[in-house]
Amino acid sequence: MWPFSTLRSRKSIVLLLTLFSFLQLYRHYPPLDFNLPLLPATPSSCQSQPIPAIQEPSPRVAEQWIQLQELFERHPPNLDMEHTDFAGGQLAKATVKLLADYLDMTFDEAQLMRDEHASVVKALPQYPIGAFSGRGIVILAGGKYSEIAATTIGMTRLLGSRLPVEIWMIDEIEEQEGWCEEMAAYGGIVCRFVSDYMEDMSAFSHHYQLKIPAIIFSSFAEVLYLDGDSMPVVNPDPIFSAPAYMDTGAVLWPDYWKATESPYTPYITGQNQTKATSVPDFQTVDSGQMLWNKEKHWQSMCLAAYYNYFGPTYFYTLFTQGGPGWGDKDTFPTALRALKAKWTMIPHPLQTQRYDDGTGHGKGSGMAMMQADPADMQAFKPLFLHSNFIKFSVRRLMCDTCTEDPSALSAEKRLEGKEVTFKGSISNRKGTIWKQLNFGMRIFATKEKGGLNDMGRLETERDMWRVMERVGCVGVFSDEKVCHRTRRYLDRTFGMVTRWEGGPERACS
């Protein structure tokens, strides 16, 4: 038998271990408490410059679009090339022969398409003088993309941007009820619907086809285009003064991959007199952010519209074949090359932001792409974070079970009238960031060479969560449990809970 004192000591140790385990569990999974202390956002200590007023898009542009559409329909592609199977790494080190043989296209067929293309180029309209004014941001949103775009828009204002913003969606069905009014209340933000300016939208079967119509129809003469998931990490307003933009009027950013276009591409688009005899030695483009001066590049934009109009059935496959990134992205540089226009490709390779592995170091292939500021062509300084894997939508991250808004459903699902639900990353135990969301850990690697934190932008992740706290707690996307979880995450991870009153906090420009 154990001596009484020894037994008592063992029971005490077991009790202490049990209490310690309970406290650890309590720390990681505290009971729901919707009365966490709220710290008001720090008020701005200076007078912000007013945001320029946004004019209505010119009806002249809608009229010109009708003429463009008629031009496109007169010169359709002579082949139907739907999306080909992804070739993976097969084309990464492709030979000219492999690229040439990937599509079943003859020289005669390429010649016919070259003639159609030349006819379109010859008839491209001139810039409509006086139809546009000022500078602004164009964001493509709608449906499930709107909540992601809300984070991007919040970041632009939090970082001090005074640029007016036009949010573009397909039609009113894509709008979460009340969201546009909510955005307009902040000042300098308006919603636009492509369907108001384009009667026949039958050619637009993919959401990203609408990037170029949104840019063309927008009221701005100079446009910073952003995907809903491409957000600035510093104030983007000075970008229009960057010498690289001032010199050329068009700035594009690189993607990960080298081009895998068909050797017939430069022949069809009039860049060469014959098909290419060497593998293309240039990067593809990440079109999640683009900078355009319409007056300098109106015809290039109209030609890019032609490529996107017939993108899913011809040009996307011609430009990408079985390589990665099938879609709109390479229509823009191809149009610029076809018209021999002067433009800027950012020389800095994009940097990858990776997940935190629990020690501050990165893991996995990455969660987002960092793109450089064109103001500095010598050194990489981050300006945009394009979230190609993790989408910073607060409900997609923090929901246990949330109901999908009708605006995010397909027409078929809306007609069925059934409730559709989804679970957020916080409930997916097998997900990449389940541990971070549940245990109050940063998602961004903090010790990653080349990551945002390594580049002096430690506060970016915190600011994104401040924006998402506002989205999850106030307005059309608010949800009580999501709000609580977001505030708890902010408090545990960054030592703060913030409440935004009157819209996103506006820093001094």
Q: Which residues contact 186 (CB under 8 A, 6 or more apart)?
A: 157, 503, 504
Structure tokens at 123: 């008839």
Tell me the C-alpha distance between 67 and 394, whole Å: 42
Residues 367/339, Cβ–Cβ less than 8 Å: no
Rg (CA), the chain: 26
More confident position, 17 or 80:
80
DSSP reduced 3-state for 362: strand
More confident position, 181 or 102:
181
Q: Helices (H), strands (E): how many in the chain?
A: 17, 15
Ranking 57-71, 163-177, 392-406 by mean pLDDT, the lowest is: 392-406
Tell me the C-alpha distance between 152 and 135, whole Å: 18
Q: What is the pLDDT of residue 453?
A: 72
Q: What is the pLDDT of residue 323?
A: 81
Task: Flag whether the pTM goes above 0.85.
Answer: yes
pLDDT tens figures, 337-384? 999 999 999 999 999 888 887 777 777 668 899 999 999 999 999 999
Structure tokens at 421: 């639900």
Measured in whole angstroms, the distance separating CA 163 from the mean position of its chain's CA atoms is: 18
Specify the pairing of strand 382-386 against strand 230-232.
antiparallel
Instruction: State the greatest distance between any 2 C-alpha atoms of the chain, in Å, as a whole number.
Output: 102
Q: Percent of the chain at pLDDT above 90?
A: 60
Q: What is the pLDDT of residue 48?
A: 58
Look up tokens 């903090």; give the residue: 446
DSSP reduced 3-state for 189: strand
Ranking 84-88, 224-228, 435-439, 476-480 by mean pLDDT, the lowest is: 84-88
Q: What is the pLDDT of residue 416?
A: 59
Is residue 490 scored above 50 in pLDDT? yes
Mean pLDDT of the chain: 85
- At 224, give phi and psi (nearest 5°): -100, 110
Q: What is the pLDDT of residue 377?
A: 92
Structure confidence at residue 87 as a pLDDT band (50, 70, 90): low
Burial class (CB in 10 A: 0-12, 13-18, 19+), 456: exposed
Residues 131/60, Cβ–Cβ less than 8 Å: yes
pLDDT tens figures, 247-298? 999 999 999 988 989 999 999 999 999 888 888 889 999 999 999 999 999 9
Structure confidence at residue 36 as a pLDDT band (50, 70, 90): very low
DSSP reduced 3-state for 247: helix
Q: Which residues contact 502 (CB under 8 A, 6 or more apart)?
A: none
Residues 261/322, Cβ–Cβ less than 8 Å: no
Q: What is the pLDDT of residue 374?
A: 96
